[in-house]
Structure 1
Amino acid sequence: MSINRSLSRVPMKISTLVMLFFLSFGTQVFAAHPDVSDAEEAIAAGKSIFNANCRTCHRLDQKNVGPALRGVTDRHSIDWTKRFIRNSQALIASGDAEAVAIYNEYNQLAMPSHEFLSDDELLDLLAYIEYGDKADASAAAAGGEGGEGVAGGTGVPSEYLTIILGVLVLVLFLILVVLGLIISILNKYLDTQKLEEDDKQFVNQKYDFGKILKSDAFIIIITTIVIALVAKTAIDELYTVGVQQGYAPKQPIAFSHELHAGQYEIQCQYCHTGVELGKSANIPSANICMNCHMHIQNVGGKDGISPEIQKIYNAVDNDQPIEWVRVHNLPDLSYFNHAQHVVVGGVECQTCHGPIEEMEVVYQHSSLTMGWCIDCHRQTNIRFEKNEYYDKLVQLHKDSKEPLKVKDIGGLECAKCHY
């Protein structure tokens, strides 16, 4: 297939990208991989390969555990790059000067081999390395259109009710003070006037505060206020039964999400493997940790391994699971499916779990109450783009003027979550 014919099959924006792709890689890329007629598709495939195999140690435009990758085909030939990705250790052992230089520059860290990648997959990976995330950045900046809802309560939070009650008491007190000042001023004014004896006695009468405090009206007012405060406190406490918002248990290993998910940008799906496959996100096993930590050990502790990483080695050596403490718990009467929300709904992890990439110690960010979930279903727009799951739904509601929300497709039905 000729280059011109390939370009005629894609939109103008993609055509430009294909031309840049051609200029960067040269004719050898197309000769080796003639099926790359859709650059956008190749880059998308390469991104999946990169996230699954490279993202832990590499970034496109900055150094991480390994070197920045963008521009690698300018620094090295494509054939050499493919050989290095497949088995860098074999290339280093052969005495290749470029491979040895990289190996020494990065503290002789051994890069895992990727001999399972085909030539086409390697070319897709290189396509993403050269042009990936440039388009993603603009898409992310425009994100939010199309309606990713954020779960938030429509009711008045308990803290606000407390503030409102306090303000009302303060206003009442100020009103009483103002009335007292007005009465005092009026008394002084009337003292200067010529009044009959009965009027003078009325104006100058003294108030018996003891009688006021013992009066039925005062007792009723105070009793009502006390009952209201006690009732509010009791209701607030009842609403918190079973709610563990802010719960941050101590874990057997001091794992930092801020370091792994934040600084190193390791995707949640890499460790929590079930999040796109089923109901549970899965707590990672020690073997998943060892995928990285057999190469990254951190200096310190016994045999140059940090004490926390040593605990992972001990678990593997003793064939014992790491007993992580579960942070997010739903009652047994509730059903929640991660795959349904993450894959079909396109919900980001941070929507429910908060800024997980900023947490040194993970805590429960959201309340995860029934009301919190319902508010999310009421506000979240359904994402139809590139989602075949909803094709039939789009046809049935093609004349709808308002964007469809989760509540419109049964998101508020009891049986959806309680079974």
Structure 2
Amino acid sequence: MTIKRSLLSVPLRLSTWLLVFLLSMGTQAFAVNPDVSDSEEAIAAGKSIFNANCRTCHRLDQKNIGPALRGVSDRHSIEWNKSFIRNSQALIASGDPEAVAIYNEFNQLAMPSHEFLSDEDVMNLLSYIEYGDKADPAAAAATGGEGGQVGVDGGIPSEYLTIILSVLVVVLLLILVVLGLIISILTKYLSNQNLDEVDAEYVNQKFDFKKILRSDAFVIIITTLVVAFVAKSGIDQLYTIGVQQGYAPAQPIAFSHQLHAGQYEMECQYCHTGVEIGKSANIPSANICMNCHAHIQNVGGKEGISPEIQKIYNAVDNNQPIEWVRIHNLPDLAYFNHSQHVAVGGLECQTCHGPIEEMEVVYQHSSLTMGWCIDCHRQTEIKSQGNEYYDKLVQLHSESKNALKVKDIGGLECAKCHY
């Protein structure tokens, strides 16, 4: 009876421990700060704030340019979240270890300040983050919904695949441990019984590790794991082909957008002259630079100017174009028209290019993948007020109670972006 009790109690104790562990992990994973409201009004207000200020860099349930946001009110205190959302750079500069860790993890890309948000705005934002769309738009796009793209902008994120594989390995190891315990207990039990010579030899045989390594089951298990990890790595690499998010090449002249667009508040259209009238935004020529620099930093002749400005003079004197390195480059199969988005759609440059006025060295802020564009078309409302371009479209959709979005005017049609 004692042996029977031990045979049952060991797996039972192990199962009970695993159940308690998994339940405790589940409770921690879904804990939400009680100060965060789950009312529909707060969630709706928070969604508007999120779409206007956060959507470019963040997703609720997966990493993007910034971390996944769901659960942030549990990971950090409410006051910490308010400080980070309003001015993350100040919190990082203060040496806060949590803020510094996030800053370093995401390539030291500082989040723009949102000091205009009130306490109520921040709490509404947290309500949407915790209780809002359980299927994030980009994640829904990639899981197969409405022409989404698996991989970079949706689908099963790479982190989830890693977790799934890790869980499978842990489960396999637990099964092996349990089987080992059962075999050990049964061996001890049978050794105390009156067995014939053949059975006794079988029960008391020594453990042969080499035999296990050569067994078909072991080979199949190891082969399966290797193939799974290789396949996952291959899929991850395939979905990064052509995606240059974060690309920041060195330019022939150290031009600072932070100085020109930020400190001096120069309009993007002054240098990128084609952005409102054509498909391409145009790379500025040296002559455009000289409109200002013929009068700035030129006191006492060329001797007083900086080496970087001297490069502009050299380009003009030698009648040679400045060979800027292109950063944002869509594939030839995709059609994108700047004037349609900027002049007609009324979009700000920061919608796609990020906080360009804060960049000392320009980098590709958004992924610019098909899934990213489709997600934007699904969520972006048409700015039709005072815009004659959309008058007939608004009239056709006047009976609909929903706001007119890009997807409603053909924004998801293949021919819109692919010839």
Q: Write the distance in 2 (CA, Å) between the matches of 1:328 and 1:275.
A: 14
1:288 maps to 288
1:249 maps to 249
1:179 maps to 178
State yes or no: 1:279 paired with 2:279.
yes
| DSSP 3-state at the match of 1:274 | coil
Q: Write the distance in 2 (CA, Å) between the matches of 1:157 and 1:309.
A: 48
Could you say if the C-alpha distance between residues 261 and 184 of structure 1 is closer, same or farther in structure 2, counting changes exceeding 3 Å? farther
Deviation at 1:208, TM superposition (A): 3.1
Deviation at 1:360, TM superposition (A): 1.9
2:335 maps to 335
2:210 maps to 210
Name the Cα RMSD after superposition. 3.5
Q: Is the 8 A contact 1:151 1:351 kept in 2?
A: no
Deviation at 1:152, TM superposition (A): 4.5
Q: Write the distance in 2 (CA, Å) between the matches of 1:386 and 1:277.
A: 19
Aligned-residue identity in percent: 70
Q: Is the 8 A contact 2:261 2:356 kept in 1?
A: yes
Worse-superposed segment, 381-390 or 173-182: 173-182
Q: Write the distance in 2 (CA, Å) between the matches of 1:362 and 1:327.
A: 8
Could you say if the C-alpha distance between residues 373 and 194 of structure 1 is closer, same or farther in structure 2, counting changes exceeding 3 Å? same
Give the unaligned 5+ runs of structure 2. 1-115, 122-135, 142-153
State yes or no: 1:358 paired with 2:365.
no
| DSSP 3-state at the match of 2:394 | helix
Structure 1 segment 232-271 matched on structure 2, within 5 A: 232-271=232-271
Tell me which amino acid in the other structure corresponds to 1:411: G
Deviation at 1:174, TM superposition (A): 5.0
Could you say if the C-alpha distance between residues 347 and 205 of structure 1 is closer, same or farther in structure 2, counting changes exceeding 3 Å? farther
Q: Is the 8 A contact 1:251 1:325 kept in 2?
A: yes
Could you say if the C-alpha distance between residues 251 and 195 of structure 1 is closer, same or farther in structure 2, counting changes exceeding 3 Å? same
Worse-superposed segment, 390-399 or 211-220: 211-220
Worse-superposed segment, 371-380 or 170-179: 170-179
Deviation at 1:308, TM superposition (A): 0.3
Q: Write the distance in 2 (CA, Å) between the matches of 1:189 and 1:305.
A: 89
| DSSP 3-state at the match of 1:291 | helix
Q: Write the distance in 2 (CA, Å) between the matches of 1:151 and 1:294.
A: 49
Deviation at 1:272, TM superposition (A): 0.9
Tell me which amino acid in the other structure corresponds to 1:175: L
Q: Could you tell me the TM-score, scaled by structure 2's length?
A: 0.56
Cα distance per residue 1:385-415 (max 9 Å; x no partner): 3322212111111121332322221112121
Deviation at 1:254, TM superposition (A): 0.7
Q: Is the 8 A contact 1:151 1:376 kept in 2?
A: no
2:387 maps to 387
1:220 maps to 220
Higher relative contact order (CA 8 A, sep 6+): 1
Could you say if the C-alpha distance between residues 301 and 362 of structure 1 is closer, same or farther in structure 2, counting changes exceeding 3 Å? farther
Deviation at 1:301, TM superposition (A): 11
Q: Write the distance in 2 (CA, Å) between the matches of 1:310 and 1:295.
A: 13
1:107 maps to none
Deviation at 1:162, TM superposition (A): 4.6
Give the unaligned 5+ runs of structure 1. 1-136, 143-149
Q: Is the 8 A contact 2:138 2:371 kept in 1?
A: no
Could you say if the C-alpha distance between residues 288 and 173 of structure 1 is closer, same or farther in structure 2, counting changes exceeding 3 Å? same
Q: Is the 8 A contact 1:152 1:376 kept in 2?
A: no
1:313 maps to 313
Q: Write the distance in 2 (CA, Å) between the matches of 1:201 and 1:307.
A: 88
